[in-house]
Amino acid sequence: MVIVVLYFVNPIDALPDGIPSLGITNDADVFALIINQIRVELDRYKEWKR
């Protein structure tokens, strides 16, 4: 989570936000990836808890 937040606030980006539509799409992809990973980890935790 911390790495993703740092990725968003860091001015040096894989695809800078100044590139129309690609920069913001890249950030959205990273955000979707981390949300998906959190969901997977929560599901694994729920299964372990049972």
Do 1 and 34 meet the contact criterion of CB atoms below 8 Å apart?
yes
Instruction: Provide the CA 19 distance to its chain's centre, in angstroms.
Output: 19
* pLDDT tens figures, 6-27: 777 776 777 776 777 777 787 7
What is the end-to-end Cα distance of the chain in Å, rounded? 26
**3 state SS of 21:** coil
Q: Is 49 a residue whose pLDDT tops 80? A: yes
Domain boundaries, the chain: 21-49
Give mean pLDDT, residues 31-46. Answer: 94
Residue 38: its pLDDT value, please?
92
